[in-house]
Amino acid sequence: MESNNLKQKAITGVMWTTAQRFSSIFVGFVSGIILARLLTPYDYGCIGMLTIFMVFSSVFIDAGFGTALIQKKRPTQDDYSTVFFWNLGISTFIYFILFFAAPYIAQFYRTPILCNVLRVQGLVLIVNAFLTIQTNQLNKQFRFKKIAITNIFTSVINLSFTVYLAYTGWGVWALVASNLMTALIPAIVYWLTNKWYPKLVFSIQSFKELFSFGSYMLLTQLLGRIVGNVQGLLIGRIYNPELMGYYAKANSTEQLATKTISDVVMQVTFPLYSELQDSKEMMILAIKKIVSSIAFLSYPLLFLLILLAKPIFILLYSDRWVESIPYFQILCFAGLALCLHGANSQAVIAIGKSKEMFKWSFVKQVVGIICIVGGLFLFGIKGMLAGMVMQCWLVYFVNAGLVSHYIGYKIRRQLLDLTPVMLLSIGSFTVSYVAGLILPYGMYVNAIIMFVISAATYIGIAKVLKLEALGLCIEMTTPFVNKFFKKK
């Protein structure tokens, strides 16, 4: 009975997370198309240069407490209140550090406007301190409907306001305002509707207990985020804001494609893994279904985006962003590994192995930095992106190896489960590529035909071969579809 109830919660969570994610994608698509024509690569580059400072600060503020609260089966009011006051205090402290460091950061990048941009955008850190616990509780309780509705509402309001600012000539400040509103609106909604308020207590016992788990998550996330954003620091310093803008647009577009499917699943999986942590058999089955399903849906999409990158970028963003295309294509190869990171790492964390995850994260991130920095200085920005591809695949193999060791889903078995999907994706890509060489029509008509050919080839062969990953996707989505139409 409890297992069925948990399954029902997971299905409902996936349904609402899917609705939220695809609504956000649609709004983000519209926003990206409009803003790419109203703003310049310089505007995007200024925001991209500051990303590493914002991300580093956010991880340090959270300190792994958010993950620790979800991993803990029954967190108390003292736990929540302690983490809330920690978040609020440390975010205020870090904001003032960034405020006074802003002139030196702007000088480092040789871009004076970054001083004021960082001082305003840094306010997001304090706003997020009011948002973290509210979101954590909703995730812990599988209340994804509320999260979805709030995020959809935020996306629509944010789009309207940001486009207005960009249209009236606010430039980079339109993006700063967008980042602030993305945090501020949900914070206001949750505090008005969630009815959770902190007790005036800071429990040293709760802090120590949560930090004993969260500290390793903090270190793991710090390493991961530094490596994941060091390229922005290097590009901004060595090159210029315009080139940083081209990279930022390529990266954000690839992230949209890579995380479209995996994020829908990942928002639900960690609470689900945490509930299943006492049964390795159920964990193995859950990981297999999640990994296979994400790969089956993501891999053909990424190969198709590599093939159709030029018409997609020109259609969506205009000729102004053509220089982003080769960066985007290289990043898509990293996305093949990146979309599977969470499915493995969250499983290891859910069973309480945060210390082991940190130890291996140190190894994989140090090697990752060597690949990225070495690639940049040897072969320029494309070499750096190739280093990112290597780093993403290294992370995947380490995470899958940890799952193999601690949970029992052997890495060889996982790779065998993924091989048919990879081969089929490459095959449909090849068929579509050859068709593109023959087709005599214009760029956009050819792209549409190539898309249809690739999709038909992929799905058709998967059905004929009765691919296991296809069956798992159907198994996982059928309850969701039935529930959706039942509500209708």
pLDDT in tens, 442-458: 888 999 999 999 999 99
CA distance 347 to 353: 9
pLDDT in tens, 96-114: 999 999 999 999 988 899 9
Amino acid 414 reads Q
Looking at per-residue confidence, does 197 or 219 come out higher?
197
Whether the Cβ atoms of residue 46 and residue 113 lie closer than 8 Å to each other: yes
Taking residues 54-67, report their average pLDDT: 73
Is residue 70 helix, strand or coil? helix
Taking residues 453-473, report their average pLDDT: 85
CA distance 384 to 369: 10
pLDDT in tens, 249-307: 898 888 877 776 666 666 666 666 766 766 778 888 888 888 888 889 889 999 999 99
Q: Give yes or no for residue 2 having a pLDDT over 50.
A: no
Q: Give yes or no for residue 373 having a pLDDT over 90.
A: no
The pLDDT of residue 428 is 93
Taking residues 103-132, report their average pLDDT: 90
**pTM value?**
0.76
CA atoms within 13 A on the CB side of 221: 23
Taking residues 459-472, report their average pLDDT: 83
The pLDDT of residue 8 is 55
Taking residues 375-394, report their average pLDDT: 89
Taking residues 363-371, report their average pLDDT: 83
Is residue 300 helix, strand or coil? helix
Whether the Cβ atoms of residue 70 and residue 251 lie closer than 8 Å to each other: no
Instruction: State the DSSP string of 347-404.
Output: HHHHTT-HHHHHHHHHHHHHHHHHHHHHHHHHHHHHHHHHHHHHHHHHHHHHHHHHHH
CA distance 33 to 316: 5
Looking at per-residue confidence, does 152 or 244 come out higher?
244
Q: Give yes or no for residue 135 having a pLDDT over 80.
A: no
CA distance 394 to 60: 24
Q: Give yes or no for residue 435 having a pLDDT over 50.
A: yes
The pLDDT of residue 316 is 84
Q: Give yes or no for residue 441 having a pLDDT over 70.
A: yes
Using pLDDT thresholds of 50, 70 and 90, give the confidence band for residue 1.
Answer: very low
Return mean pLDDT, the chain: 81
The pLDDT of residue 105 is 92
Handedness of CA 341, 176, 184, 219 (dihedral sign): positive
H helical segments located in 277-353:
280-307, 309-317, 325-338, 341-350
Most confident of 136-150, 168-182, 195-209: 168-182
Taking residues 222-226, report their average pLDDT: 72
Please count the other Cβ atoms lying within 10 Å of the Cβ belonging to residue 319. Answer: 8
